Amino acid sequence: MKLLILGGGSCQLSAIKKAKEKKLEVIVSDYYEDAPGKVYADYGETVSTFDIKGNIEVARKYNIDGVMTVGTDQPVYTAAVVAKNLDLPSFLSLPTAKAVTNKKNMKNILQRYNIPTVDFKILNRDFSINEIENISFPAVIKPLDSQGQRGVFKLNSPGEIRERFSEVLQFSREDEILLEEYYESKEITVSGWVIDEKLYILTVTDRITYENSLHIGICTAHIFPSVFLKRYYQEIKEISQRIVQGFKIKNGPVYFQMLIGDQGIKVNEIACRIGGAYEGDFMPGLTGVDILDLNIDLSLGSGLKSDKLEKYDMLNNERWLSVQLFFARPGKIHRVSDIDELTVLPGVMQAGFNFNEGDKIMRIENATERAGYFIVAGNSREELKENIKRVYNQLAICDYQGRNLVMRELGEVL
């Protein structure tokens, strides 16, 4: 059987390798000719994952049996449209796929079903002050259909919105933007699997983010279990199930971002995909559920499996785990650590770099500047903390002056 995977970046590598292990013929489409996933695929096509028409042509060229993506937002809609056009299996209807990849649709559904979210407005370029009089500053502006925190800004006045409007639209195919009130809060993520509209929650993690005066929400680490899990579990579960029902999510993976502050839980983002923090890699070891395997089977129209999902009890999962999505200060890379020296350290499951020697690292504006990642586990909070510390003590991205550029303080927060 032939499977088209949209995206050949680091977040899709495990899906590509898993599909090959399952003896599938894999086609990868990616805008970059040298996308790392193409090395492991049978065929690689230089087509953007946003390019619906181009991916339909790729799908027809190879006469594929299924299409999927993981770890990235916008290709979810591309996959749904490709499947619809070629009459292939799809676990998402087009309206649902659109709703979870376009923030205008997303916010309207949250509002319609009384799912808590921050106050917001959809603005066009010539918006009036009256339109936003009920929005308090500071506020956040976002593209309606982007990903990786591209075009997201925290601003302090209507004038700043006008100044940044065109810049936000550079990351969008729409001519409107989203304006949200800034909510002082901590973030969590909810990852799970849906079968016949029933949600099985697999993890609730603390989502650690980087923030300066302008750029916010750039993820630097995930930590399981969340410090909010026991106190808010019933509310998290109830809100998550309402999302499934409101967005008419029938089957497949879900990934929700929520904010917790003085006003309680607010839903921030909704995605029908495996998360981009290597959830597909660590879920089998942490939960016993191989969501990558489930995702591939579902994309090819295979039957749903629920035995391991039924048996798993997140509240009694006593393991600790963190995905560290580390960044580095600007500079030109002279030397990086040997990955093999990192993966032999206690608790380390895997690690990788997004840059090579000779590459130039820019200042942090969105998730594309992420320097690499490592996944580390422990049997307690203290053991996890020590295991993370050991990795950072060994981890190096050095410039030509010998300075280690790794910003360990952004992720090492236990």
- Judged by DSSP in three states, 258 sits in strand
> What does the pLDDT average to over 158-168?
95
CB–CB of 226/205 below 8 Å?
yes
> What does the pLDDT average to over 202-209?
97
pLDDT tens, position by position, 280-319: 999 999 999 999 999 999 999 997 778 899 999 999 999 9
Where is pLDDT greater, at 253 or 73?
253
| CATH numbers and ranges of domains, the chain | 2-90 (3.40.50.20), 119-181 (3.30.1490.20), 185-316 (3.30.470.20), 322-410 (3.30.470.20)
pLDDT tens, position by position, 324-357: 999 999 999 999 999 999 999 999 999 999 999 9
CB–CB of 113/246 below 8 Å?
yes
- The neighbour count for residue 344, using CB atoms within 10 Å, is 10
* Single-letter amino acid, residue 400: Y
* Single-letter amino acid, residue 155: L
Max mean pLDDT range (105-119, 134-148, 207-221): 105-119
For tokens 């090492």, the residue is 412
**Does the structure show a pLDDT above 80 at 213?**
no
- Judged by DSSP in three states, 60 sits in helix
Confidence (pLDDT) at 243: 98
> What does the pLDDT average to over 144-172?
92
pLDDT tens, position by position, 138-151: 999 999 998 778 89
- The neighbour count for residue 80, using CB atoms within 10 Å, is 25
C-alpha to C-alpha distance for 191 and 272, rounded to whole angstroms: 10
Which strands, in side-by-side order, build the sheet including 43-45? 43-45, 25-29, 2-6, 66-68
Percent pLDDT > 70 in the chain is 100
Task: State how far the alpha carbon of 244 is from the alpha carbons of 84, 113, 277, in Å.
Answer: 21, 11, 21
**Mean pLDDT over all residues of the chain?**
96
Task: State how far the alpha carbon of 379 is from the alpha carbons of 318, 320, 321, 394, in Å.
Answer: 7, 6, 9, 21
C-alpha to C-alpha distance for 142 and 130, rounded to whole angstroms: 20
Percent pLDDT > 90 in the chain is 92
Confidence (pLDDT) at 366: 85
Paired tokens of 166: 């065109």
pLDDT tens, position by position, 182-194: 999 999 999 999 9
b/e map of 195-211 (b: 16 or more CB within 10 Å)? beeebbbbbbbbbbbbe
Confidence (pLDDT) at 149: 85
Confidence (pLDDT) at 303: 75
pLDDT tens, position by position, 298-307: 999 997 778 8
Confidence (pLDDT) at 365: 86
> What does the pLDDT average to over 88-95?
96
118 Cβ contact partners less than 8 Å away, ≥ 6 residues apart: 180, 181, 182, 183, 259, 266, 268
Cα 376–chain centre separation: 18
H helices of 270-337, where? 279-287, 291-299, 307-311
C-alpha to C-alpha distance for 381 and 177, rounded to whole angstroms: 40
Residue 42 phi, psi (nearest 5): -75, -35
For tokens 């129209």, the residue is 301
Reading phi first (left if > 0) and then psi (alpha if -120 to 50, else beta), residue 405 is in: alpha
pLDDT tens, position by position, 194-204: 999 999 999 99
